[in-house]
């Protein structure tokens, strides 16, 4: 193969190389640093996947949504939210069913629409490590979830190196690349990035700065992002997709002799974020976080601990796309959420064969959700403050023990148990009025049921306590460097969230406003809580096989089938079909959360291969993945909602040394099968199959990185499989249809490190 053939993909981006060459004529010698990371960074199971820093950098150039950093992980899909608030879906399980951790923080969504999920508080530019466990989850990494584990950690603190650093007895240390610093010197480091995306005229700016000595480190990371309504394939604008967000994170750390103390403070402000598949939009979200952490190593093992506090002030109303304006009150809705928690974990080296891992956790959630009356509108919204959740409390306290044993060089096991007590309660509520009916705008009598529903709720015993037990058993066999096999059996339990238990107002077929405000599924239906819900318990078996080249790592294949039986899966039953004010049926339903048994099964396949490797012509690699999942309600026979169809990804990547830097170009294809297995109870819509083509390039030279590319190269018109319905268009008179995906989008970005 000629050199020209190897460089063909990079030639398409050749004009950008000249721009990159002009940006860094003088090399910048970065200080050598120690990066202190957690021992937990090592893969706990074969079904654990970490996203490489280079892949994170590429994804950060295309989106400000931190959840999208998990795009390369097989088995992970995304449920459409706002511009920075999509929800990871792991093997068919979404949102609260997965354990989503932002560093050591366990943050609950403080919104009846889950517009502020945990990962919405992170910016891709401030992320250090990204990890997902899609299969058998160790009890030390789980709790209060039945799906996978998704972890985004901020960048670890950095410290100046001594002139002759001794081996560290503390947490794992990763060395930096630049020249060492003399003992006692102060280190300055940082970065600046800016990105542009054409589909929504989106702009992102982020920066980070650190000043550190051998023992102390002070750093700051900030990000600002803005985007308008995006254009779908074919050029049509998808309204209610605009957003603006900003994030700030300050870190003070102290490290000495393998012991690290870290204090982090985070601040987020989202002044607006549109939600095309919701009846409301976000017009304000302010989050404040404090997290104090400790990590250290002793002669007998390691200890990790942290305590945190988080507060969210959230406001929903209508943006202009849904008819909102500055001259009208709209429908104001407020949420005040607080999370207080603590975690401690110790790894105890019992012997050369055995490690005992023990720990405890506490997470206290407080939530108030209220809607002020709206004067001059439909009488059903006058004249009291509507209390959707009043003094909601969800307190979770647990402990676990986990035993790792390596019986021989080939055989190892892990056994674990976790016990958690979840106590929930909520205060008395009231509707907009103390009656059960009101006259609608057409002069017709509309039944609101405010009085009867609130009376029944307030008279009930609302306190609930669940005692949940998680169990994990893993067996791993690694006969050689060429292969590894793992079998995992787990029992995982999740208690209902506050809205699933305490959202009390049913409304009526002619007046579904109050239940319609409780919906994090994107289907525009209304949902009602259920005080009698039981925790859902998933019994899962998963197997993983890894085959690889034992000599020079030229190829690898990973196959992971799984099956799960879920007792008391929290699904929904229909109460009634909603009608218009004229009594005509609509496409939407009022549903109540209900327990059913369910089954999920599927397979994830991923692989990579180095096709060619030459000193002059560069390296050519192929990578791909396939994911399939099927979910069914065993009681009703219906399909589970928002299950991703068969999805295949493939990428042909070429990397070469060029002009003193590294040029990486890739050609990507993503194909998704038609979505025909839909949930009839919710009226889920079918979607046709599609295939997308992406071109990407990244050039790294000294302290600069230039990203450029085009997504959806052919401007394919398609619908998001997990996007829900386009409620904004329906409200404007368009027949109900799914949410369209992003059309052709050019992106470019520049990152400078110093």
Digit-coded pLDDT (tens) for 325-346: 544 578 999 999 999 999 999 9
**Is a pLDDT exceeding 90 seen at residue 323?**
no
**How many helices (DSSP H) and strands (DSSP E) are in the chain?**
8, 35
Instruction: Compute the average pLDDT of residues 209-233.
Output: 96
User: What rounded mean pLDDT belongs to the chain?
Assistant: 90
Q: Which is higher by pLDDT, 144 or 39?
A: 144
Question: 110 vs 143, 518, 541, 660, 712, CA distance in Å?
Answer: 20, 12, 33, 49, 34
What is d(CA 642, CA 635) in angstroms, rounded to the nearest whole number?
Answer: 18
User: CB-hemisphere CA count at 13 Å for 330?
Assistant: 21
552 pLDDT band, cuts 50/70/90, is confident
User: CB-hemisphere CA count at 13 Å for 658?
Assistant: 25
With H, G, I as helix, E, B as strand and everything else as coil, classify residue 707.
Answer: strand
Instruction: Compute the average pLDDT of residues 81-105.
Output: 94
Strands 745-753 and 173-175: unpaired
Q: Is the dihedral of CA 69, 72, 74, 79 positive or negative?
A: positive
Digit-coded pLDDT (tens) for 50-59: 999 999 999 9
Residue 377 C-alpha from the chain's centroid: 37
**Is a pLDDT exceeding 60 seen at residue 354?**
yes
**Is a pLDDT exceeding 90 seen at residue 199?**
yes
Digit-coded pLDDT (tens) for 151-169: 999 999 999 875 434 444 3
What is d(CA 238, CA 622) in angstroms, rounded to the nearest whole number?
Answer: 34
Residues 110, 337 contacting (CB under 8 angstroms): yes
The domain made up of 33-163+188-408+420-753 has a fold known as Maltoporin; Chain A (2.40.170)
Residues 269, 224 contacting (CB under 8 angstroms): no
With H, G, I as helix, E, B as strand and everything else as coil, classify residue 416.
Answer: strand
Q: What is the pLDDT of residue 444?
A: 65
Instruction: Compute the average pLDDT of residues 574-597.
Output: 93
Q: Is the dihedral of CA 330, 505, 147, 133 positive or negative?
A: positive
**Is a pLDDT exceeding 90 seen at residue 750?**
yes
What is d(CA 537, CA 596) in angstroms, rounded to the nearest whole number?
Answer: 11
Q: Environment class of residue 379 by beta-carbon count within 10 Å: exposed (0-12), middle (13-18) or buried (19+)?
A: middle
E-assigned strands of 80-139? 87-90, 93-94, 99-102, 127-133
Q: Is the peptide bond before 430 cis (omega within 30 degrees of 0)?
A: no
Phi, psi of 64, deg, nearest 5: -90, 5
User: CB-hemisphere CA count at 13 Å for 728?
Assistant: 23
What is d(CA 102, CA 339) in angstroms, rounded to the nearest whole number?
Answer: 13
What is d(CA 71, CA 52) in angstroms, rounded to the nearest whole number?
Answer: 12
**β-sheet with 158-160: strand ranges across:** 158-160, 33-36, 173-175
Phi, psi of 125, deg, nearest 5: -70, -20
Instruction: Compute the average pLDDT of residues 604-628.
Output: 96
Q: Is the dihedral of CA 700, 701, 704, 708 positive or negative?
A: negative
């Amino acid at each position: 193969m000629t050199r020209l053939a190897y460089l063909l993909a990079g030639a398409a981006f050749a004009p950008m190389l000249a721009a990159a060459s002009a940006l860094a004529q003088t090399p910048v010698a970065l200080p050598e640093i120690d990066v202190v990371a957690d021992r937990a960074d090592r893969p706990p199971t074969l079904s654990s996947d970490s996203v490489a820093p280079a892949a994170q950098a590429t994804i950060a150039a295309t989106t400000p949504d931190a959840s999208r950093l998990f795009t390369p992980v097989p088995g992970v899909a995304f449920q459409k939210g706002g511009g920075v608030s999509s929800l990871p879906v792991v093997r068919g399980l979404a949102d609260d069913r997965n354990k989503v951790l932002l560093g050591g923080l366990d943050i609950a969504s403080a919104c009846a629409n889950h517009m502020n999920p945990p990962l919405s508080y992170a910016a891709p530019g401030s992320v250090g490590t990204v990890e997902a466990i899609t299969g058998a989850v160790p009890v030390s990494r789980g709790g209060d979830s039945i799906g996978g584990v998704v972890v985004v950690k901020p960048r670890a603190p950095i410290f100046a190196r001594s002139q002759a650093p001794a081996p560290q007895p503390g947490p794992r240390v990763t060395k930096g690349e630049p020249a060492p610093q003399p003992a006692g010197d102060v280190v300055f480091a940082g970065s600046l990035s800016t990105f542009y995306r054409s589909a929504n005229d989106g702009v992102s700016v982020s920066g980070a700065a650190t000043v550190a000595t051998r023992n102390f480190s002070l750093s700051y990371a900030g990000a600002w992002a803005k985007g308008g309504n995006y254009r779908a394939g074919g050029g049509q604008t998808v309204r209610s997709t605009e957003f603006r967000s900003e994030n700030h994170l300050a870190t003070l750390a102290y490290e000495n002799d393998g012991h690290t103390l870290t204090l982090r403070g985070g601040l987020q402000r989202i002044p607006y974020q549109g939600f095309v598949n919701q009846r409301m939009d976000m017009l304000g979200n302010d989050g404040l976080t404090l997290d104090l952490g400790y990590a250290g190593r002793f002669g007998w093992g390691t200890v990790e601990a942290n305590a945190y506090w988080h507060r969210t002030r959230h406001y929903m109303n209508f943006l202009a796309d849904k008819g909102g304006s500055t001259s009208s009150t709209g429908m104001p809705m407020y949420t005040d959420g607080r999370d207080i928690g603590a975690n401690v974990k110790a790894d105890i080296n019992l012997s050369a064969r055995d490690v005992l891992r023990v720990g405890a956790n506490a997470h206290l959630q407080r939530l108030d959700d209220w809607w002020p009356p709206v004067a001059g509108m439909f009488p059903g919204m006058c004249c009291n403050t509507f209390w959707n959740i009043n003094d909601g409390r969800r307190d979770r306290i647990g402990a676990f023990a986990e035993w790792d044993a390596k019986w021989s060089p080939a055989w190892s096991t892990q056994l674990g148990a976790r016990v958690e007590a979840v106590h929930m309660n909520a205060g008395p509520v009231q509707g907009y009025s103390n009656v059960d009916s009101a006259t609608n705008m057409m002069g017709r009598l509309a039944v609101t049921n405010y009085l009867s529903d609130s009376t029944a709720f307030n008279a009930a015993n609302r306190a609930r306590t669940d005692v949940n037990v998680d169990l994990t058993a893993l067996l791993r066999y690694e006969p050689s460097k060429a292969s590894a096999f793992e079998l995992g059996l787990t029992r995982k339990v999740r208690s209902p969230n506050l809205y699933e238990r305490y959202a009390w107002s049913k409304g009526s077929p002619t007046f579904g406003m109050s239940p319609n405000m409780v919906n994090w599924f994107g289907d525009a239906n209304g949902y009602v809580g259920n005080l009698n819900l039981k925790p859902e318990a998933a019994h899962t078996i998963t197997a993983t096989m890894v085959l690889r080249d034992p000599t020079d790592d030229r190829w690898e294949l990973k196959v992971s089938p799984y099956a799960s039986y879920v007792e008391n899966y929290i699904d929904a039953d229909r109460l009634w079909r909603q009608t218009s004010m004229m009594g005509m049926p609509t496409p939407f339903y009022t549903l109540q959360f209900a327990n059913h048994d369910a089954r999920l099964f599927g397979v994830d396949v991923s692989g990579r291969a180095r096709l060619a490797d030459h000193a002059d012509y560069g390296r050519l690699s192929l990578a791909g993945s396939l994911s399939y999942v099927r979910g069914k309600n065993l009681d009703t026979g219906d399909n589970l909602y928002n299950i991703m169809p068969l999805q295949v990804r493939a990428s042909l990547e070429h990397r070469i040394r060029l002009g003193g830097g590294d040029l990486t170009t890739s050609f990507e294809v993503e194909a998704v099968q038609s979505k025909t297995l839909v949930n009839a109870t919710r009226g889920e819509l079918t979607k046709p199959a599609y295939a997308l083509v992406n071109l990407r390039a990244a050039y790294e030279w000294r302290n600069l990185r230039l990203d450029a590319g085009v997504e959806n190269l052919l401007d394919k018109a398609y619908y998001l499989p997990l996007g829900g319905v386009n409620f904004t268009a329906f409200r404007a008179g368009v027949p109900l249809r799914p949410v369209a995906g992003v059309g052709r989008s050019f992106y470019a970005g520049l990152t400078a490190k110093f």
